[in-house]
Amino acid sequence: MNSNIRYLLNESRRLLNLAFEEFKRGLNEERDEVIRDDAEKSWNAIVQATAALLLFKGFKEEEAKTYKQKRTALEDLGIRDETIRKLGFRDRFMAKENTLHIKCFYDGEYRVEVIREEIEKTKQYIDDIEKLLKGTI
């Protein structure tokens, strides 16, 4: 695994760990802006892990810079790679984009239990990408 891919995976883990910590703090302090920022950190963890997956699968950085490009790349990958399709990366990416990035972070529309679940799902998404890159899936 090249150093850029490793960096992206490490960054996704770092962001996820921050998201877990801040979520707890946001709940304890009853601070909406902390919970919303936590959702954005979780979303950015998804973005970094997805970038690692796409680089690993042969996409160039400039082919998957924007969220739209990442969605399209995941669609293309799902068409030609059965494992990617079965793991549902496109659907999972788009669900996190909607729930964490748009609804929670931008719109301020969230339920605490849903965000807690989405952070856990973010961990599973990253775990699945790491397993795929290591060849254990």
The predicted pLDDT at position 118 comes to: 96
Q: Answer yes or no: is pLDDT of 70 > 90.
A: yes
Q: What ranges do the domains of the chain cover?
A: 3-134
- Split at pLDDT 50, 70, 90, the class of 1 is confident
Measured distance CA(76)–CA(90) in Å, rounded: 9
Class of domain 3-134: mainly alpha
Long-range contacts of 70-77 (CB under 8 A, 24+ apart): 71/97, 74/50
Say whether pLDDT at 12 is over 90.
Answer: yes
User: Can you give the pLDDT at residue 24?
Assistant: 93
Neighbour tally for 103: CB within 10 Å: 17
pLDDT digits over 108-124, tens only? 999 999 999 999 999 99
Alpha helices in the chain (DSSP H): 3-29, 32-56, 67-80, 82-87, 89-96, 112-134
